[in-house]
């Protein structure tokens, strides 16, 4: 069953002369993990901003769970590209945000949910710390826990690991796959890192042309659960090189 569907969606930023997203249709199956790759400025984050309702399409419709998103609230968790945690709030207060927005829970219930979510991402005992007291990887895990607390099936993660050093990044990738397997969410994940995309995705959604009219779906020939060893298989190496080629051709016409 498809969880997310774009039906002939277009978007034009005010002041721009053309649609950045132009008559785009695609759908995403429930429980899948897709990375979206494409060159900088091609409109990847714009797709997320429309999916979460921050931007309204110029035309076309977006459906989640078969219903138009204009009739729904709290249908997706969104982890933006920047400004992950509010520095003036403690970690616990940051995680409380989606619960405060949704309402309907007592302070004590919120506290229990937050403690469980922090334990789930290995951050027990960090509730009263400020974001600046955490390492980069810990901050990403806290932001992920906050995204999970929306309770939504659909998670939109915009370059969540791009600011991390290589070793932290690969351990976060393994950690994220475990979280996905455990919680059975549907994840869309934007990245510039082709190796990250093929390690995580069931199939990669590539932006091969702008304006974005289609997303090219490229299956990844590896089963889950995965370990990094799969990246050394010849078919994975050639997929990685092909994808790098596809992206390069767009920056060096
Ligand atoms: N608020 C805005 N007003 C006008 N143009 C915008 C606005 N935000 C983004 N754009 C333009 O729309 C295009 C797509 O932006 P978007 O942020 O979706 O790109 P992206 O693919 O996520 O890029 P990156 O990989 O660098 O994050 C860019 O060319 C950008 O300049
Ligand atoms: Mg972006």
Backbone angles phi, psi at 86, to 5 degrees: -75, 120
At residue 37, the pLDDT reads 97
> What spacing in Å lies between the alpha carbon of 20 and ligand 1's midpoint?
8
Q: Which residues pair with 63 in a beta bridge?
A: 5, 68
Query: How would residue 250 be classed by pLDDT, with cut points 50, 70 and 90?
Result: confident
Ligand 1 pocket, residue 250 CB under 6 Å: no
Question: Residue with the nearest Cα to atom 2 of ligand 1?
Answer: 13
- pLDDT, tens digit, 9 for 90 and up, residues 123-155: 999 999 999 999 988 998 999 999 999 989 999
List the domains of the chain with CATH numbers.
Answer: 2-75+153-251 (3.40.50.300), 85-151 (no CATH)
Question: Residue with the nearest Cα to atom 5 of ligand 1?
Answer: 13
Ligand nearest to the CA of 47: 1
- pLDDT, tens digit, 9 for 90 and up, residues 75-85: 999 998 876 79
Ligand 1 pocket, residue 44 CB under 6 Å: yes
Ligand nearest to the CA of 46: 1
Ligand nearest to the CA of 42: 1
> What spacing in Å lies between the alpha carbon of 37 and ligand 1's midpoint?
14
What value does the mean pLDDT of the chain take?
Answer: 94
pLDDT of 165 higher than 90: no
Nearest atom (ligand 1) to Cα of 13: 4
- Decide: 202 and 218 in contact? Cβ < 8 Å: no
Sorted by sequence, the CB contacts under 8 Å of residue 3 that are 6+ apart come out as: 28, 29, 30, 31, 64, 65, 153, 154, 186
Per residue in 35-70, is it b (16+ CB within 10 Å) or e — as a string? bbbbbeebbbbbbbbbbbeebebeebebbbeeeebe
> What spacing in Å lies between the alpha carbon of 171 and ligand 1's midpoint?
29
């Amino acid at each position: 069953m498809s969880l997310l569907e774009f039906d002939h969606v277009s978007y034009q930023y005010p002041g721009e002369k053309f649609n950045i997203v132009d008559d785009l249709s695609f759908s995403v199956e429930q429980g899948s993990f897709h990375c979206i790759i494409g060159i900088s400025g091609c409109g990847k984050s714009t797709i997320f901003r429309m999916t979460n309702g921050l931007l309204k399409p110029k035309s076309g419709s977006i459906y989640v769970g078969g219903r138009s998103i204009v009739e729904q609230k709290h249908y997706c968790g969104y982890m933006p590209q920047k400004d992950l945690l509010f520095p003036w709030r403690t970690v616990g207060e940051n995680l409380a945000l989606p619960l405060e927005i949704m309402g309907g829970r007592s302070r004590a219930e919120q506290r229990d949910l937050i403690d469980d979510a922090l334990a789930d991402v290995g951050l027990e005992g960090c509730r009263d710390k400020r974001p600046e007291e955490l390492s980069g990887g810990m901050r990403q895990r806290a932001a992920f826990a906050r995204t999970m607390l929306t309770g939504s099936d659909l998670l939109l993660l915009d370059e969540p690991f791009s600011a991390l050093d290589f070793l932290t990044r690969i351990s976060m990738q393994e950690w994220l796959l475990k979280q996905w397997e455990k919680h059975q969410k549907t994840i869309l994940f934007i990245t510039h890192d082709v190796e990250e995309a093929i390690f995580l995705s069931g199939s990669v959604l590539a932006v091969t042309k702008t304006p974005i009219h289609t997303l090219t779906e490229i299956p990844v020939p590896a089963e889950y659960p995965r370990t990094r060893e799969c990246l050394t298989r010849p078919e994975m190496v050639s997929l990685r090189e092909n994808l790098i080629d596809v992206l390069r051709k767009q920056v060096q016409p």
